[in-house]
Amino acid sequence: MKSNQKINIPLDEYINLCLYDKKNGYYIKKNPFNNKSDFITAPNVSRLFSEMLAVWVINFWQSLDSPKNFNLVELGAGNGEMMKILIESFKNFPTFFKSSNIFIHEKSPLLTKIQKKILKGNEIIWVSNLKEIKKNPTMFIANEFFDAIAIKQFIKIKNSWFERFVNIEDKKKAFFFDKKINIKNFEKKIGYQISNRQNFIEYSETGIDYLRNISQIIKTNNGGALIIDYGYFDEKMKNTLQAMKNHKYYDVLKNIGNCDITHNINFRLFKKIIKNIDGIKELTTTQRNFLIQIGIKKRAEIISKNLSFLKKVDVYYRLNRLIDERQMGNLFKVMMIKNRNNKFSLGF
């Protein structure tokens, strides 16, 4: 422990230390999307997922009257696999492809390097700040982006609120403790009475900042956002903090920097934030409903028609992982944000 390093830190600072520390952060020092990954994302389950997103994006672009200058921004592009398949699909629609300016917003230098390698030969602009994006109609895609952003936790005990902290004096024996706070001061800071009818709170200041910023860009420049993530619609917040290692749940306080830490998005909170921004609206559904409505089953039939039996089985096994209610189908939710006067509702 360095003498100038804080020993007791709020939960969000601890998560940022684990995931994004410049030397030892999980997303900074390793590729979590390779064959030895600790988790698997939908684009890596089946290319069908990315192909269907490409179809959806093109339809959304048409709902904006097919602008000749259109921004497509992926937030947190993982290993670049989804964007690779999106671009392959877009090339079948040359008018759309020629109209598109493609951006990737990525925090990890290592993942940026991997993305640039897999996407070599494509015209893509990597941006560290969303303000760098040209002022055209803009579509944001965020697949498992918000769940990897650090959260604060607050616990109500009797009539008092406490914030969750972590003691890291000995990193091999880190432990939680709770510190009493004035929740009204926090609510004044975030401009939202979040404690109303709650006994437990999870809140990501950075995540909500992103949500508000992309919503303002959509409001100002026209466009939309597609957010796909672990999440729930309940009004009551719950403790969803979890760590993953080798595809199994892991102790959040152990092996700092060597496991993924995530949380489930409270989409009810996202809805309330968006409702307070004039001129835009949102629609939400499950990943299962979204993918089925935009035709993933028909697409699976088409691509498997002339395949061998074993390859056909593989296509449907992967499809099932994406849409089955007991797998990713209901666990993942989908939110579309758009301008209020846009009637587009494909997938919702």
Q: What is the CATH number of the domain that holds 256?
A: 3.40.50.12710
324 contacts 316 by C-beta, under 8 angstroms? no
DSSP state, residue 172: G
- Tokens for 255? 């092996």
**Contact, 86 vs 50, CB < 8 A?**
yes
pLDDT at 82 over 70: yes
pLDDT tens column, 281-312: 999 999 999 999 999 999 999 988 889 999 99
Percent of the chain exceeding pLDDT 70 equals: 95
Closest Cα to residue 316, out of 334, 331, 300? 300
Residue 3 has pLDDT above 50, yes or no: no
As a whole-number percent, the residues of the chain with pLDDT over 90 amount to 74
pLDDT in the model for residue 30: 65
Q: Which helix (H) or strand (E) holds 244?
A: strand 242-245
Determine, yes or no, domain membership for 14: yes
Between CA 106 and CA 145 the distance in angstroms is 10
The reply to whether 219 falls in a domain is: yes
Residue 33 lies in a domain: yes
Q: With cut-offs at 50, 70 and 90, classify the pLDDT of residue 255.
A: confident
Show Cβ contacts of residue 267 under 8 Å, excluding neighbours closer than 6 positions.
231, 232, 233, 284, 333, 335
Region of 65 on the Ramachandran plot (φ > 0 left; ψ -120 to 50 alpha; else beta): left
- Mean pLDDT over 122-127 rounds to 96
Residue 20 has what pLDDT? 86
Domain count, the chain: 1
pLDDT category at 112 given cuts 50, 70, 90 is very high
Structure confidence at residue 32 (pLDDT) = 62
**Residue 233, pLDDT above cutoff 90:** yes
pLDDT of residue 326: 86
> Residue 1 pLDDT more than 90?
no
Which amino acid is residue 295, in one-letter code?
Answer: G
Does residue 206 surpass a pLDDT of 60? yes
Name beta bridge partners: 205: none
Instruction: Measure the CA–CA gap between 78 and 50, rounded to whole angstroms.
Output: 13
Decide if pLDDT at 246 tops 90.
no
Over range 217-236, report the average pLDDT.
95
217 in a domain, yes or no? yes
**Tokens (6 digits) for 54:** 């490409």
Encode pLDDT of 144-198 as tens digits.
999 999 999 999 999 999 999 999 988 888 999 999 999 999 999 998 899 999 9
256 within some domain:
yes
Mean pLDDT of the chain: 91
**What's the pTM value of the predicted model, to 2 decimals?**
0.91
Beta 138-143 vs 70-75: how paired, if at all?
parallel
Domain residues for the domain of 231 are 8-339
User: If you average pLDDT over each of 4-18, 30-44, 330-344, which comes out highest?
Assistant: 330-344
Distance CA 337, CA 33 (A): 28
- Asked whether residue 96 is assigned to any structural domain, the reply reads yes
Residue 10, phi then psi, degrees to nearest 5: -60, 155
Per-residue pLDDT band for 40 (boundaries 50, 70, 90) equals low
Tell whether 321 is covered by a domain.
yes
Q: Is residue 42 part of a domain?
A: yes
